[in-house]
Amino acid sequence: MAEQLPLTLALDEQARFENFYPGPNGELVERLRGLAEGETGVLYLWGAPGSGRSHLLQAACHHCSVRGGASLCLDLSSPGEWAPELLDGLEGLDLVCLDESWRLAGKADWERALFHLYNRCRERGTPLVISGDAAPAHSAFQLPDLRSRLGWDWVYRLQPLSDADKAEALVYLAALRGLDLPKETAHYLLRRCPRDMATLRHLLRALDTASLASRRALTIPFVNAFLARNPRWQTQAGLFDAL
Amino acid sequence: MTHALWDRCLERLAAELPPQHYKTWISALRAREGDETLHLYAPNRFVQDWIRTRFLERIQETLETVAPGWQVELCIGNPGDGGEGATRDPTPKRTPPSPAPRQATRPPASRVVVREETPNAMRTNLNPAFTFDSFVQGKSNQMARAASEQVANNPGRSYNPLFIYGGVGLGKTHLMHAIGNQILKERPNARVAYLHSERFVQDMVKALQHNAIDRFKKFYRTLNVLLIDDIQFFAGKERSQEEFFHTFNALLEEQQQVVLTCDRFPKEVNGLEERLKSRFGWGLTVAVEPPELETRVAILLKKAQEMEVELPQEVAFFIAKRIRSNIRELEGALRRVVANARFTGREIDVDFVREALKDLLALQEKLITIDNIQKTVAEYYKIRYTDLLSKKRTRSIARPRQIAMALAKELTNHSLPEIGEAFGGRDHTTVLHACRKVQELREQDARIDEDYRNLLRSLST
């Protein structure tokens, strides 16, 4: 079986607020936008894998950067090479985003460093965004002070999109690519393909290419023929082969 | 602040570097232009080193293409605070600029100029919002509040040091700020400093690095009021403890006030020197307990008032009944409700709150189950879980069972018949009797009261 690649790494799109379909997460997106624009506060967001945590953190940093701010988006998925001192002084930035914070859980020196960064950011008013895989009280952090602080300011759960939302999201994301994706085609895809947004984004890219090559609109017959030619898109395992 | 030159470099670097590298390292740099040198400021030494070893050559190349002859200087801190007293590179400036081959444009390691933030000048760090007026008093914190007010009205003379301890998010820091604010109100020229213990350690390390330990000592030993939060983080830091010990003694000798907070009783902090523990007990040690329901409601109403939001009382009760562990979580929940109401334009009522907090409430309910309570109580009293559900009526079993029932009533939303059912099919009147009995016993017997509070704490945090 082919090696499973993280889908996010293969994305050719840059993470932006504009290409994130908020669905039920509109309030969260607005809050993040506010923080990237200089509002103060600490925001902890948690959700299932593939729900868009990394996308939103990167989008916030990008938004801050284009406004001339200094920001840092730290992917903590493999902090092996780094030391907790990496978090020193980050409160001097305009926005700090820490992705996959749960990777630090159980590492006492990292937990303390994160706790102190939290305090310094609050004291200085530096916006700090942290992503997690569970609500603060259920996080794997050992330091009670840290768990309690993570629940203090803004805590949001990234709500999963319903199928109706996903169909809307597909139409919306297609429009961003200049594609007209009829709603019925979006529902058709949702009935036949893996329904996580990361896969659906990939599929949309493939359909974009195919539609451009054949100069055909994204009708159900066209998509049907595409899936018949590319059956791997209909299963998760097949998708990984395609990458 | 934007800088044309750096912005142009950024555009190119963003296009050339992998996005993850760019967002992690490059976008964290701040720039200042001056004298054909682009000063780039990293937030800390770690980032500086990372940039130097992995990206500096690339940045220098990019700068060469945008502004031939310019050089990169890598610093630490912020453009605003590194101006004076920075360590300048002693090597002469590279002139004239030449279209040298790639390798030659790489700045040697010695070109990196390290600038540090200057140590903090005297500032109180007090949050003016944390006053005695904005502190909601209840049974759980009335002793701590009274002692704090006493100290604020008579600093250095009543209780010195004042040692406030308790679990996370219960208002210890609020009381500390309130003391500082109150003293400054009466004596605006008083030298008051609030800091987290980590800041004390950091300041000391910086002072040692910069050979400025005398200045450090003078600063701390000439304060009128020293407020240090979370002293448990001194644990294991011997040099800091040593310095703090002397600071502490100097202040007490001069009858200057010291206030400390900790997450536990001083004697229970591991890694803290005995002489410090013993001195912490010289003044007054007071505990802050988790707030009871009425106090939680009062806190919510007060916070809502501060946010200029009308919070119906039944809504405050609804939230307070479900979020019990600490005030931070309570505040977090209220903030979400208010933000959600503003975002959706909906009125705040119980149904709305149930929806807005559904994730949080679901977790709370998942966290505290009757089963969980039974297991925790059995473990606490070192009896078997099945004994709690059995018909046994010996006191060593019956008391824990009654306590578990009372906890189930207090911590869950199950009905009394449901609780009875979960305890081996007992009647709801048995549960009612257990709750009354436990209340009575807690008033009569301090040990039972302590057991109950310990269990409550461990189940709800």
Signed CA dihedral, B299, B302, B305, B310: sign only: positive
pLDDT reading at A162 higher than 80: yes
Q: Are B384 and B411 in contact (CB under 8 A)?
A: no
Interface of B with A in 123-142 (CB under 8 A): 125
Which of A101, A129, A157 delimits the end of a domain? A157
CATH number at residue A70: 3.40.50.300
Q: What was the pLDDT predicted at B460?
A: 66
Compute the distance between CA of residue A189 and CA of residue A163 in angstroms, rounded to an integer.
11
- What would the mean pLDDT of A70-77 be, rounded to a whole number? 91
A52 and A153 co-located in one domain: yes
A6 and A124 co-located in one domain: yes
Q: What was the pLDDT predicted at B457?
A: 74
Which residue range forms the structural domain that includes residue A66?
2-157
Strands B30-34 and B37-42: antiparallel
DSSP-based three-state secondary structure for B277: helix
Q: Which structure tokens are listed for B311?
A: 């919070």
List of chain B residues whose C-beta atoms are within 8 Å of the C-beta of residue A15: 19
- What would the mean pLDDT of A131-142 be, rounded to a whole number? 89
A39 and A54 co-located in one domain: yes
Q: Name the strands in the sheet holding B192-196, side by side, starting at the edge strand that comes first in the sequence.
A: B192-196, B225-229, B257-262, B162-166, B284-288
Q: Which structure tokens are listed for B460?
A: 């709800």
User: B151 to chain A, minimum CA–CA distance in Å?
Assistant: 24
Q: Are A157 and A135 in contact (CB under 8 A)?
A: yes
Which of A137-141, A178-182, A198-202 is predicted most confidently? A178-182
pLDDT in tens, A216-234: 999 999 999 998 888 777 6
Among the partner residues A85, A144, A155, nearest to B45 by beta-carbon distance: A85
List of chain B residues whose C-beta atoms are within 8 Å of the C-beta of residue A156: 336
Q: What was the pLDDT predicted at B97?
A: 35
B271 has a chain A CB within 8 A of its CB: no
List of chain A residues whose C-beta atoms are within 8 Å of the C-beta of residue B9: none
A11-39 in b/e burial notation, b at 16+ Cβ within 10 A? beeebebebbbbbebebbbebbbbbbeee
> Minimal CA–CA distance to A228: which of A183, A174, A192?
A192
Q: What was the pLDDT predicted at A37?
A: 96
Q: Is B328 within 8 Å of A123 when comparing Cβ atoms?
A: no
Q: Is B332 within 8 Å of A145 when comparing Cβ atoms?
A: no
Q: What was the pLDDT predicted at B264?
A: 87
pLDDT reading at A5 higher than 60: no
CATH number at residue A210: 1.10.8.60
Q: In chain A, whose CA is at the least distance from the CA of B201?
A: A116
- What would the mean pLDDT of A141-161 be, rounded to a whole number? 89
Which of A157, A174, A194 delimits the end of a domain? A157
Percent pLDDT > 90 in chain A is: 53
Match 């949080």 to its residue by tokens: B360
User: B235 to chain A, minimum CA–CA distance in Å?
Assistant: 12
List of chain A residues whose C-beta atoms are within 8 Å of the C-beta of residue B23: 58, 61-62, 71-73
DSSP per residue, B306-365: HTT----HHHHHHHHHH--S-HHHHHHHHHHHHHHHHHHT----HHHHHHHTHHHHHHHH
Q: What was the pLDDT predicted at A97?
A: 96
Strands B71-76 and B37-42: parallel
Which residues fall within 8 angstroms of residue B84, CB to CB, at 6 or more apart?
B118
CA geometry: angle at B369 spanning B367 and B372, to 5°? 90
B302-325 in b/e burial notation, b at 16+ Cβ within 10 A? bbbeeeeeebeeebbbbbbebbbb
Per residue of chain B (461 residues), give pLDDT as tens: 447 889 999 989 988 888 888 888 999 999 998 888 999 999 998 899 889 988 999 999 999 999 999 999 999 988 876 543 333 333 233 333 333 333 333 333 323 333 333 333 457 889 898 999 999 999 889 999 999 999 999 999 889 999 999 988 899 999 999 999 999 999 999 999 999 998 899 888 889 888 899 999 999 999 999 999 999 999 888 888 998 999 999 999 999 999 999 988 888 888 888 888 888 888 999 999 889 899 999 999 999 999 999 999 999 999 998 888 788 889 999 999 999 999 999 999 999 999 889 888 776 666 678 998 999 999 899 898 888 999 888 999 999 999 999 998 887 767 788 889 899 999 889 998 999 999 999 989 989 988 998 888 777 65
> What's the one-letter identity of residue B136?
V
CB-based burial label for B98 (10 Å; 0-12, 13-18, 19+) = exposed
A129 and A235 co-located in one domain: no
A150 and A190 co-located in one domain: no
Q: What was the pLDDT predicted at B413?
A: 67
Which residues fall within 8 angstroms of residue B8, CB to CB, at 6 or more apart?
B66
A61 has a chain B CB within 8 A of its CB: yes
Q: Is B167 within 8 Å of A86 when comparing Cβ atoms?
A: no
Match 């208002």 to its residue by tokens: B171
Q: Is B328 within 8 Å of A149 when comparing Cβ atoms?
A: yes
Q: Are B326 and B461 in contact (CB under 8 A)?
A: yes
Compute the distance between CA of residue A145 and CA of residue B263 in angstroms, rounded to an integer.
9
Q: What was the pLDDT predicted at A6?
A: 32
B38 has which bridge partners? B33, B72
Q: What was the pLDDT predicted at A193?
A: 82
A140 and A211 co-located in one domain: no
Compute the distance between CA of residue B238 and CA of residue B38 in angstroms, rounded to an integer.
41
Q: What was the pLDDT predicted at B367?
A: 66
pLDDT in tens, B8-55: 999 899 888 888 888 889 999 999 988 889 999 999 988 998 899 889
DSSP-based three-state secondary structure for A217: coil
A115 and A186 co-located in one domain: no
A71 and A119 co-located in one domain: yes
Mutate to test the interface with A, among B46, B130, B227, B232 (most CBs of A within 10 A): B46
A116-129 in b/e burial notation, b at 16+ Cβ within 10 A? bbbbbbbeeebbbb
Match 């994305």 to its residue by tokens: A11
Q: What was the pLDDT predicted at B228?
A: 95
A175 and A235 co-located in one domain: yes
> Which secondary structure element, helix H or strand E, spans residue B163, and what is its range?
strand B162-166
- Please report which confidence band the pLDDT of residue A9 belongs to, taking 50, 70 and 90 as the band edges: very low
E strands along chain A, which residues? 42-46, 71-75, 95-99, 128-132, 154-157
Compute the distance between CA of residue B1 and CA of residue B373 in angstroms, rounded to an integer.
55
Which residues fall within 8 angstroms of residue A53, CB to CB, at 6 or more apart?
A45, A46, A47, A99, A100, A131, A158
B196 has which bridge partners? B229
B190 has a chain A CB within 8 A of its CB: no
Interface of B with A in 201-240 (CB under 8 A): 230, 233
Among the partner residues A26, A75, A149, nearest to B20 by beta-carbon distance: A75
Q: Are A204 and A223 in contact (CB under 8 A)?
A: no
**What is the number of structural domains in chain A?**
2
Compute the distance between CA of residue A218 and CA of residue A177 in angstroms, rounded to an integer.
13
Mutate to test the interface with A, among B7, B17, B168, B229 (most CBs of A within 10 A): B168
B119 has a chain A CB within 8 A of its CB: no
Contacts 24+ apart (CB under 8 A), A180-186: A180/A217, A180/A218, A181/A218, A182/A218, A182/A219, A182/A220, A184/A220, A185/A218, A185/A219, A185/A220, A185/A223
B458 has a chain A CB within 8 A of its CB: no
User: A147 to chain B, minimum CA–CA distance in Å?
Assistant: 9
Match 């768990």 to its residue by tokens: A147
Q: Are B131 and B199 in contact (CB under 8 A)?
A: no
A26 and A135 co-located in one domain: yes
Which of A157, A183, A216 delimits the end of a domain? A157
> What's the one-letter identity of residue B308?
E
A48 and A85 co-located in one domain: yes
Compute the distance between CA of residue B149 and CA of residue B171 in angstroms, rounded to an integer.
14
Q: Are A198 and A52 in contact (CB under 8 A)?
A: no
Q: What was the pLDDT predicted at B78?
A: 83
Compute the distance between CA of residue B99 and CA of residue B356 in angstroms, rounded to an integer.
62
- What would the mean pLDDT of A112-135 be, rounded to a whole number? 93
A90 has a chain B CB within 8 A of its CB: yes
> What's the one-letter identity of residue A110?
W
Compute the distance between CA of residue A232 and CA of residue B398 in angstroms, rounded to an integer.
63
A99 and A183 co-located in one domain: no
- Please report which confidence band the pLDDT of residue A13 belongs to, taking 50, 70 and 90 as the band edges: low
Q: What was the pLDDT predicted at B437?
A: 94
Q: What was the pLDDT predicted at B458?
A: 76
